[in-house]
Amino acid sequence: MDLFTATNVSKTYAAHKALDKINIRVPEQSIFGLLGPNGAGKTTFIRIVNRIIAPDEGELIFNGKKLGPEDIGKIGYLPEERGLYKKMLVGEQALYLAQLKGLSHHDALIKLKYWFDKFEIRGWWNRKVEELSKGMQQKVQFIVTIVHNPKLLIFDEPFSGFDPINVNLLKEEILSLRNNGSTIIFSTHNMGSVEELCDHIALINNAKTILEGNVNSIKKTFKTNTFEICYTGYDEDLRNILSSGENVILQEKEDDHFKATVQLPAGLTTNSLIREMILHVTLQSFNEIIPSMNDIFIRTVTEKHTISPNLPLN
Amino acid sequence: MKKILLIIRREYLTRVKKRSFIVMTILGPLLMAAVFVVPIYLATNSNEMKNVAVLDQSGLFFEKFKDSDNIKFHYITEDLTTAKENFPRSHDYALLFIPKTELSLPENAIIYSSGQVNINVKSYVSNVMSRQIEELKLEAKIRDLQPGTNVNSTTTDILKSIKSNVDISTIKLGSNGEEQKSYPEVSMVLGMFSAVLIYFFIFMFGSQVMRGVIEEKTSRIIEVIISSVKPFQLMMGKIIGVALVGLTQFMLWVILTFGIVTIATSAFTGKLKSSLPNEQVITNQGQSFHADKLAHASHPANTNQEGVNEVFSAINSIDFPVMIGSFLFYFLFGYLLYAALFAAIGSAVDSESDTQQFMLPITMPLIFAFVTAQYIIQEPQGPLAFWLSIIPLTSPVVMMVRIPFGVPVLQVILSMILLLLGFVGTTWMAGKIYRTGILMYGKKVNYKELWKWLKYKN
């Protein structure tokens, strides 16, 4: 079941096409990575989801219905460009923003106190925002984004400005939000956190979706049947002993052993490779090289329309 | 609707709690006092040649009115009714009437004119008359002096007793001969004062709106907020919130000024009352004197009372419901018209120092209206006054200058409707620029860019 779908969404600014028939499906209770290089149209898309701007064409379905003004209270948005009123008191400001999302004063107060305690910033309630450190302000912003229990959360580069300890705190929070029923759209350039957190991704480039789907299946399609093998006992060219059409990409001596990267031709199983090898060498390790999201990102974006997933990476 | 109230509340409370607001609230009443004095000073400069017909029934001032740089006097002898009838055809600026008096020297005169009487003319006439009266009184005193009296002890008495206070009332002569008492000083002060107030209000609070928008943009909170409310709601919430701050400040000013004035006048009138009975006696004595020694009779007490009466009737002659009603209207809608434009500017720039190029076209009409107000006050029915009080960008300031002098209802209605339309128009336009501008960071914006934003669909 998809919580949110965008079908053929386009947006044009004067002469510049920001989104060109974008199609995105965000499954319920998933963490959805929205990826793409700078200027690809991610922010425009996120603003459309938040109803900050309206698309020129296309359909947006949220929770089974057309996305409408009443849905604003069910969405939480942490923009990349974020800030707070500097002269306002922290608590007062959090209350204001929570009420703007539709919470009553009473509910907002109870929920904010809970989260302020959880993030250990209760003592800052009556301080001015300008007295807070950047990380502290980010915590306040994060709380304000999630305080109204939105069904859909949109985080745009949520980890920027946090130290590693707080990044972990935040990751845990994001995962527990997902586990408690929220759906999360997560936009970032940090591919490490995409691999760690995302179940699904969409890659936008030049105003178009160029890749979309489950992270594992995307990785599968980008697998190139390439393996990294460490061995000892044979110091000549591996090509001499591999005769079934294997492509030896790399072979080097590393400390007391050799390391080789070998791509198998279609149809050849790993077992037959091992069988060929163990006649001459002593195997130390044998791993399939799974493309990282980083590799996939760079490859799809730089090669644009000529994606042929089965060529070796690097 | 609930959200816009939240925004108004925040905008209002954060500003009212500021130290600068409290300081301005205290300084304001002091500033107002200064504002009263300046326009009166400015209005005394006028170069046009003015012909004044003098109808002197007392016969005491014949040939006493010397022509000055821009006032020419000529004497007429017909009776007042005919003179008034002829006045519209005479091309004279004003008709000065000095009535014949029986018991004392004439210390009252009336100036009839078609419009408001220039303050120079009035003070010139008043000066000439009081000098002449004082001379006559002095002559009479000297004739009365008994030989052998101690001159030293009487000099001060004489100087005191000849002091005279000429009262000049001005009456507007309508083209159909109807009379209407008019008080240029009171109208001028009221008109200028409300115009100045509106001018400052628009500037002060308009730029507060602009700064508020820039603050939201530079602190980057804007995107968080517009994911909860529509940009237009945020803009209107801010504009209304700041308007309420302005009204609060205004009310506090009125209350404070009123308080100061009440304290000051109660102290003053206390003194006045204690000196009254004394002078009453003098008056009674004076009335028993022979007619050719009219000069003995001085009327300090009467004059005082008449002065007070004059101010009272002057104030009464102002149509206060109209005055206050139109003031509030132009006060509010003038601000609303400009505030939206200020908000649009704030949205288009990244910092306050970038606002200059856009500020000019907005402040120009306002400053222009303010500067011309000083000329309009001299000719409140002229074509310049008419057009500037109709055009929405200048009407809030200029119309307020004209209102105390009396403006045809139709013109007021036209001006109000155009201002309303102007407000709707600028707000609609500003809303479109604002909506796009608040999401643009680090972009150098020019007029072409703004024009493009106006045409964006959403």
Tell me what pLDDT residue B294 has.
Answer: 43
* Segment A91-105, tens digit of pLDDT: 999 999 999 988 999
Residues B326 and B425 reside in one and the same domain? yes
Across chain A, mean pLDDT equals 86
- The residue type found at B174 is G
Q: Which helix (H) or strand (E) holds B110?
A: strand B108-113
Residues B168 and B228 reside in one and the same domain? no
Considering CB atoms only, which of B6, B441, B456 is closest to A81?
A: B441
Total Cβ atoms within 10 A of residue A140: 23
For residue A202, list its beta bridge partners.
A34, A212
Among B134, B162, B182, give the residue marking a domain's end: B182
The verdict on a CB contact (< 8 Å) between B224 and A97 is yes
Nearest-CA residue of chain B relative to A51? B227
Tell me the DSSP string of chain A. Answer: -EEEEEEEEEEEETTEEEEEEEEEEEETT-EEEEE--TTSSHHHHHHHHTTSS--SEEEEEETTEE--GGGGGGEEEE-SS----TTSBHHHHHHHHHHHTT--HHHHHHHHHHHHHHTT-GGGTTSBGGGS-HHHHHHHHHHHHHTT--SEEEEESTTTT--HHHHHHHHHHHHHHHHTT-EEEEE-S-HHHHHHH-SEEEEEETTEEEEEEEHHHHHHHT---EEEEEEES--S-GGGT--SS-EEEEEEEETTEEEEEEEPPTT--HHHHHHHHHTT-EEEEEEE-PPPHHHHHHHHHHHTT---TTS---
Residue B71 domain-assigned? Answer: yes
Band of pLDDT at residue B275, cut at 50, 70 and 90:
very low
Cβ contacts (< 8 Å) between B6 and chain A: which residues? 96, 99-100
* Average pLDDT over every residue of B307-312: 52
Residues B115 and B198 reside in one and the same domain? no
Band of pLDDT at residue B174, cut at 50, 70 and 90:
low
Nearest-CA residue of chain A relative to B436? A53
Residues B27 and B71 reside in one and the same domain? no
Tell me what pLDDT residue B64 has.
Answer: 81
- The domain of B261 spans 2-38+187-266+318-455
* Average pLDDT over every residue of B157-164: 77
Band of pLDDT at residue B288, cut at 50, 70 and 90:
very low
Cα distances from A91 to residues A300, B244, B439, in angstroms, run 45, 24, 26
Q: How many CB pairs under 8 A join A and B?
A: 66
Cβ contacts (< 8 Å) between B441 and chain A: which residues? 81
* Segment A26-62, tens digit of pLDDT: 999 999 999 888 888 888 899 899 888 888 889 999 9
**If one looks up domain A2-216 in CATH, what number appears?**
3.40.50.300
Would you state the structure tokens that stand for residue B304, as one six-digit string? 């005082």
Residue B13 distance to chain A (closest CA, Å): 11
Residue B434 domain-assigned? Answer: yes
* Average pLDDT over every residue of B384-409: 86
Residue B241 domain-assigned? Answer: yes
* Segment A195-248, tens digit of pLDDT: 888 999 998 888 888 888 888 888 888 888 888 889 888 878 888 888 777 888
The verdict on a CB contact (< 8 Å) between B227 and A53 is no
Residues B235 and B353 reside in one and the same domain? yes
Considering CB atoms only, which of A56, A87, A100 is closest to B3?
A: A100
Residues B126 and B103 reside in one and the same domain? yes
- The residue type found at B193 is F
The verdict on a CB contact (< 8 Å) between B223 and A81 is yes
- In whole angstroms, how large is the CA radius of gyration of chain B? 29
CA angle at B36 for the pair B32 and B39, rounded to the nearest 5°: 130
Least confident range from B125-134, B154-163, B231-240: namely B154-163
Residues B178 and B208 reside in one and the same domain? no
> What is the pTM (predicted TM-score) of this model?
0.70
Q: What is the percentage of chain B residues whose pLDDT exceeds 90?
A: 12
Residues B162 and B100 reside in one and the same domain? yes
Closest-CA residue to B119 (of B21, B63, B188):
B188
Tell me what pLDDT residue A97 has.
Answer: 93
Rounded to an integer, what distance in angstroms lies between the CA atom of residue A293 and that of residue A186?
A: 14
When the candidates are 2.40.50, 3.10.350, 2.60.40, 3.30.70, the CATH number that belongs to A225-288 is 3.30.70
For residue A26, list its beta bridge partners.
A4
Residues B11 and B96 reside in one and the same domain? no
Strand order in the sheet with A2-13: A16-27, A2-13, A57-62, A65-66
Considering CB atoms only, which of B7, B219, B456 is closest to A86?
A: B219
* Segment B27-39, tens digit of pLDDT: 877 766 555 555 5
Rounded to an integer, what distance in angstroms lies between the CA atom of residue A95 and that of residue B86?
A: 75
Considering CB atoms only, which of B3, B219, B458 is closest to A84?
A: B219
The verdict on a CB contact (< 8 Å) between A96 and B10 is yes
Interface of A with B (CB under 8 A): 13-14, 47, 50-54, 56, 72, 75, 77-79, 81-88, 96-97, 99-102, 141, 144-145
Considering CB atoms only, which of A52, A85, A102 is closest to B219?
A: A85
Residues B21 and B60 reside in one and the same domain? no
Tell me what pLDDT residue B298 has.
Answer: 40
* Average pLDDT over every residue of A277-288: 87
Q: Tell whether the torsion through CA atoms of B33, B35, B38 and B44 is positive or negative.
A: negative
Residues B96 and B217 reside in one and the same domain? no
* Average pLDDT over every residue of B51-65: 83
Tell me what pLDDT residue B360 has.
Answer: 86
Cα distances from B248 to residues B13, B16, B83, B201, B239, in angstroms, run 11, 9, 52, 12, 14
Nearest-CA residue of chain B relative to A153? B227
**Residues A22, A8: contact at Cβ < 8 Å?**
yes
CATH of the domain at B146: 3.40.190.10
Tell me what pLDDT residue B127 has.
Answer: 85
Rounded to an integer, what distance in angstroms lies between the CA atom of residue A20 and that of residue B278?
A: 95
Interface of B with A (CB under 8 A): 3, 6-7, 10, 14, 215-216, 219-221, 223-229, 231, 439, 441, 452, 456-458
Q: What are phi and psi of B109, to 5 degrees?
A: -145, 160
- The residue type found at B142 is I
Cβ contacts (< 8 Å) between B3 and chain A: which residues? 100
CA B126, distance to chain mean position in Å, is 23
Among B167, B182, B197, give the residue marking a domain's end: B182
Is B283's pLDDT higher than 80? no
Considering CB atoms only, which of A13, A87, A100 is closest to B229?
A: A100
Residue with the bigger pLDDT between B167 and B52: it is B52
Across chain B, mean pLDDT equals 77
Residues B112 and B198 reside in one and the same domain? no
Band of pLDDT at residue A144, cut at 50, 70 and 90:
very high
Band of pLDDT at residue A184, cut at 50, 70 and 90:
very high
Give domain limits for chain A.
2-216, 225-288
Which of A44, A45, A53 to mutate: most B Cβ within 10 Å? A53
* Segment B417-427, tens digit of pLDDT: 999 999 999 99
Is B110's pLDDT higher than 90? no
Tell me what pLDDT residue A244 has.
Answer: 76
Tell me what pLDDT residue A265 has.
Answer: 85
Residue with the bigger pLDDT between B391 and B69: it is B391
Tell me what pLDDT residue B287 has.
Answer: 39
Residue with the bigger pLDDT between B285 and A176: it is A176
Tell me what pLDDT residue B303 has.
Answer: 43
Among B159, B182, B205, give the residue marking a domain's end: B182
Residue B23 domain-assigned? Answer: yes
Is B45's pLDDT higher than 80? no
Strand order in the sheet with A226-232: A247-254, A257-263, A226-232, A282-288
Number of domains in chain B: 2
